[in-house]
Structure 1
Amino acid sequence: MVSSPAILRLCRWGPKNWARSRGPSTLRPGGQVSWLTARTAVTVTVEPAGRSLWDEPVRISASGLAPEQRVTLRASLRDEKGALFRAHARYCADAHGRLDLARAPALGGSFAGLEPMGLFWALEPEQPLLRLVKRDVQTPFTVKLEVWDGHDPEPGRLLGRTEHERHFLGPGVRREPVRAGRVRGTLFLPPGPGPFPGIVDIFGVGGGLPEYRASLLAGKGFAVIALAYYLYEDLPKGIQALQLEYFEEAVDYLRSHPQVQGPGVGLLGISKGGDLCLSMASFLKGITATVIINGSLVNVGGILHYKGTVLPPAPLNLNRVKMTKDGFVDIVDVLNSPLEEEDQNSIIPVERAESALLFLVGQDDHNWKSEFYAREASKRLEACGKKPQVICYPDAGHYIEPPYFPMCHASLHSLVGQPVIWGGEPRAHSKAQEDAWKQLQAFFHKHLGGK
């Protein structure tokens, strides 16, 4: 019996030939199974074997092919709701019948060229308007990899397959639900006694409690609280009126935790979470380092209150909404950029921030003009003698995620109520995610400490 489906290796032929061509089976070291046939068995290998963390690259290879054999590789996974995501690419084996995706360029399909992780970042939903997210970090995604004879559109028989688990909780990472006062979230702690540099992680207008970015960051040596702020348990049902005191309470909780080193903590926010983190850095104490991913300089979506100060939401110009050729909404021009007189009360007073600031920007962001807001915030900070950092990524869209998440082209915008495009070109977006992940970790380690 095979110990894990992630290391099951089979050679399969057409259904008519299967029974008569299958020879005796052998159990290889490590529990790997290969059927001996009249032809050489095709073995599909993923290294590291069996499992890896989602943000880690893997090495995919196949052996037992004919010299220079043309094959098609397919990858697929299902999310927790059963939605199917797939990618494929055409390859040619080398003169020894081996295929190594780290050396062999794809000849077409979902991507082309030398892309060792292309079968992951090029995954596309079978049903449109779906974005791949991880809802339960305590379970892995199982990726199925198959090798088919020939090239699309009609490859021949299935030659080999394997499964590989992609996890979101690293070895020894601890997950602790947080119900402290009003604060609702999940704290992830690295292995070891600590203390660790602390980070508050905030997402956008989807609501709920996304944990996957926080859980992966905890594996890099950070104590990270994934913070919910609406549409979760007893929190508000919308963002029409948010209290910055709630976020202050979360910062205080993290700073006072015995396994979090001080004196200050970091903030990480994307989209609406980005402007919330910018507001936190501008009004609250104890913030040492802040990373904004495709955020804005204006308060968006609803009123933000803090101790008598009110930031109204930036006005929207719905006359600037455009429709794309494929019937999606493009909202990139709905917010004013450059800023106009009517925006002044909504501008976050970033000049007050004492935190180090890093802006990560997708230059093809179609949610709003993130580069404009990052540049404008940078100018205001520099006028006060501060030195923020802005890193721009050409052809990257709005949702800059941890590495190897596929780019989401379009999905339902919860505030707009319609499907919108997010921008980006898949390959460039993937490269941006890899670099941004390294940049934000280096930034936090530099300003918060730790290893």
Structure 2
Amino acid sequence: MTNTTFIKATPAEAQFTDAIAVIAGGFAPGATVRLSSELVDDAGVKWVAYGDFVADANGMIDLATAPSEEGTFTGINPAGLFWSLQPESGTDRRFMIDADNKNHMLGQPLFDPLAPQTFTLRACLEGDAVAEASLTLNKLAEGIEVIEVRDGRLRGKAFRQKDRSKSRGAIMSLTGSGGGVEMGYAPALASIGYDVFSLAYFAYEDLSEFLYAIPLEYFEEGFEWMKREFGATRMAVQGASRGGELSVVLAAYLPHYVSGAIPIVPMYAASAGWNHKTGETGPSWTYKGAEIPYGKTLDTMSMEEMKRIGEELPNGFPAAPGYKIDMEQDYVRRDCAIPIENAAGPLLMISGLDDAMWPCAWGSDLIVNRLRAKGYAHHYEHLALRETGHITPLPNVVTTFAPALYHTLAEVFLACGGTAEGAGRSALIMWNAMQAHYERVFGG
């Protein structure tokens, strides 16, 4: 390395969702320089990203304005060195299928979800490293108490601000069909000042293994917990995929608790619940002893067949076409649409236009049409993201494997749609919209 060349990240330590400025300099004008990032995860897997850049007349390269000509990403993309990280072994999907941990099955580096991640940035000329810098991205800001929740039948994690001198909004964050406890959006939302309850509702500890006939009374207990433990007076809910569907359900059926919602890649009607071991289907949700109306599946394809097709197709089994047929049935459109007009606050639907898992953009449009037809009194909008599929990550999260997903419960390879670059670009748009939505719900 020389004393004149440099690479720099600003800030050198930040929250994971922050925009990071990366610049390098001290090169000959017109020199081709490879800028790279490296991250070694807790399993010892090295993740790398790089781009080849041409230095400007001042010998400088700024990722905000300089295009990568070749690499794990191309074009002008300020966050390219983060979302395009890939295992050193490459991007073959066997990395997910053969993984022995959930993070790798989902195409993500293996880390404690709340631990800081440290990246090494390098500048190389003709294969030789000539400058190096370090960047640390924190998942959780200072001043937040993490609480393991095992209260009655409630299970999950809560993120509570230690400073209780002022009132603040409280958010319930929900997972999708993979179950467990939501640990992606929740710490990010807590880090911008909200109290957050990541409430597990199946496939976690002693909860049911299956997304099947889950009573909404469970979530009522969760909101009561938030009122008691957070002192919350205004609460919102958000979730992705089946959690997005659930967010619509909770906003519609529990408006006395929900002051706003962000359904992410949601559906306009409830889907069938499913025992992934037996294949049995039925209601996903119940309330006051009755089933929430749902769309019954017409497809009789076995799990074995889905797995076979998922293995054969380059990006896995595309469930969206069959799912849309199910949800377009006359009785579903007529009798099963979630009565979202009963909600009591602002709504932000977020969808990927290229979703191959289920047609969430179509479903979100049906939600909007219902709100329009019913004269909904509160703010609502649908953010439809281009080149984005079922995966909607936060800024700087790896999206290399986003077009496909290895479902950790069903053990089937599923197509998600979109592109890695599209998901990477959409992340900041989505995060900005989420922050604006919660400012509307809770006040700036």
Please, what TM-score do these two structures have when normalized by structure 1?
Answer: 0.82
User: Matches of 1:178 and 1:301 in 2, distance apart?
Assistant: 28
2:212 to 240, 258, 273: 240
Query: Alpha-carbon deviation of 1:200?
Result: 0.4
**Could you report, residue by residue, the CA deviation over 1:42-80 in whole angstroms, capped at 9, with x for unpaired residues?**
33221112x211101112222333343212122222344
Equivalent position SS for 1:159? strand
In the alignment, what sits opposite 1:148?
A: 124
1:307 to 278, 285, 288: 288
Q: Which amino acid aligns with 1:447?
A: V
**Could you report, residue by residue, the CA deviation over 1:244-273 in whole angstroms, capped at 9, with x for unpaired residues?**
11111111111233543x1x3101111010
Structure number with higher relative contact order (C-alpha < 8 Å, ≥ 6 residues apart): 2
Query: Alpha-carbon deviation of 1:342?
Result: 4.9
Instruction: Please give the residue correspondences for 1:265-344 in structure 2 after superposition, counting only pairs within 5 Å.
Output: 265-284=235-254, 285-302=256-273, 303=283, 304-311=285-292, 313-318=294-299, 325-326=313-314, 328-337=316-325, 339-343=328-332
Q: Which amino acid aligns with 1:194?
A: K
Report if the CA contact (8 A) 2:173-2:186 is conserved: yes
User: Matches of 1:329 and 1:282 in 2, distance apart?
Assistant: 32
User: Matches of 1:327 and 1:112 in 2, distance apart?
Assistant: 22
User: Matches of 1:133 and 1:312 in 2, distance apart?
Assistant: 39
**2:62 maps to 1:100:** yes
**Could you report, residue by residue, the CA deviation over 1:206-233 in whole angstroms, capped at 9, with x for unpaired residues?**
2222323111111222111111112222
Report if the CA contact (8 A) 1:137-1:167 is conserved: no
In the alignment, what sits opposite 2:435?
A: 441
Report if the CA contact (8 A) 1:316-1:336 is conserved: no
**2:372 maps to 1:382:** yes
In the alignment, what sits opposite 1:183?
A: 154
Report if the CA contact (8 A) 2:156-2:199 is conserved: yes
Report if the CA contact (8 A) 2:395-2:428 is conserved: yes
Distance 1:425 1:340, change over 3 A: same
Query: Alpha-carbon deviation of 1:412?
Result: 0.9
Q: Which amino acid aligns with 2:238?
A: L
Once structures 1 and 2 are overlaid, which stretch shifts more, 273-282 or 109-118? 109-118
Distance 1:110 1:296, change over 3 A: same
Report if the CA contact (8 A) 2:168-2:195 is conserved: yes
Equivalent position SS for 1:196? coil
**Could you report, residue by residue, the CA deviation over 1:328-367 in whole angstroms, capped at 9, with x for unpaired residues?**
2111112135621353665433233233321111111111
Q: Which amino acid aligns with 2:6?
A: T
Q: Which amino acid aligns with 1:428?
A: G
**2:23 maps to 1:61:** yes
In the alignment, what sits opposite 1:160?
A: 131
Instruction: Please give the residue correspondences for 1:391-410 in structure 2 after superposition, counting only pairs within 5 Å.
Output: 391-407=383-399, 408-410=402-404
Query: Alpha-carbon deviation of 1:189?
Result: 2.8
Once structures 1 and 2 are overlaid, which stretch shifts more, 206-215 or 413-422? 413-422
What is the alpha-carbon root mean square deviation over aligned residues?
A: 2.5
Distance 1:83 1:315, change over 3 A: farther
Query: Alpha-carbon deviation of 1:327?
Result: 5.8
Equivalent position SS for 2:120? strand
- How many residues in Structure 1 have an aligned counterpart in Structure 2? 405
User: Matches of 2:315 and 2:30 in 1, distance apart?
Assistant: 43
User: Matches of 2:27 and 2:51 in 1, distance apart?
Assistant: 16
Q: Percent identity?
A: 27
User: Matches of 1:55 and 1:287 in 2, distance apart?
Assistant: 26
In the alignment, what sits opposite 1:348?
A: 338
Q: List runs of 5+ in structure 2 lacking aligned partners.
A: 97-105, 274-282
2:33 to 71, 77, 80: 71
User: Matches of 1:221 and 1:133 in 2, distance apart?
Assistant: 26
Query: Alpha-carbon deviation of 1:241?
Result: 2.7
Instruction: Please give the residue correspondences for 1:239-258 in structure 2 after superposition, counting only pairs within 5 Å.
Output: 239-258=211-230
Equivalent position SS for 1:297? coil
In the alignment, what sits opposite 1:43?
A: 6
Report if the CA contact (8 A) 1:79-1:132 is conserved: no
Once structures 1 and 2 are overlaid, which stretch shifts more, 342-351 or 158-167? 342-351
Equivalent position SS for 1:209? coil
**Could you report, residue by residue, the CA deviation over 1:382-405 in whole angstroms, capped at 9, with x for unpaired residues?**
222105321211221111121122
Q: List runs of 5+ in structure 1 lacking aligned partners.
A: 1-10, 12-38, 151-155
**Could you report, residue by residue, the CA deviation over 1:171-194 in whole angstroms, capped at 9, with x for unpaired residues?**
323322222222212222346323
1:430 to 414, 424, 428: 424
Report if the CA contact (8 A) 1:366-1:423 is conserved: yes
User: Matches of 1:138 and 1:121 in 2, distance apart?
Assistant: 18
User: Matches of 2:110 and 2:191 in 1, distance apart?
Assistant: 16
Once structures 1 and 2 are overlaid, which stretch shifts more, 358-367 or 407-416? 407-416
1:413 to 407, 410, 419: 407
User: Matches of 2:128 and 2:374 in 1, distance apart?
Assistant: 66
Distance 1:325 1:95, change over 3 A: same
Report if the CA contact (8 A) 1:60-1:116 is conserved: yes
Distance 1:160 1:318, change over 3 A: farther
User: Matches of 1:259 and 1:82 in 2, distance apart?
Assistant: 42
Please, what TM-score do these two structures have when normalized by structure 2?
Answer: 0.84
Report the structure, 1 or 2, having the larger helix content: 2
User: Matches of 2:159 and 2:50 in 1, distance apart?
Assistant: 35
User: Matches of 1:332 and 1:287 in 2, distance apart?
Assistant: 29
Equivalent position SS for 1:91? strand
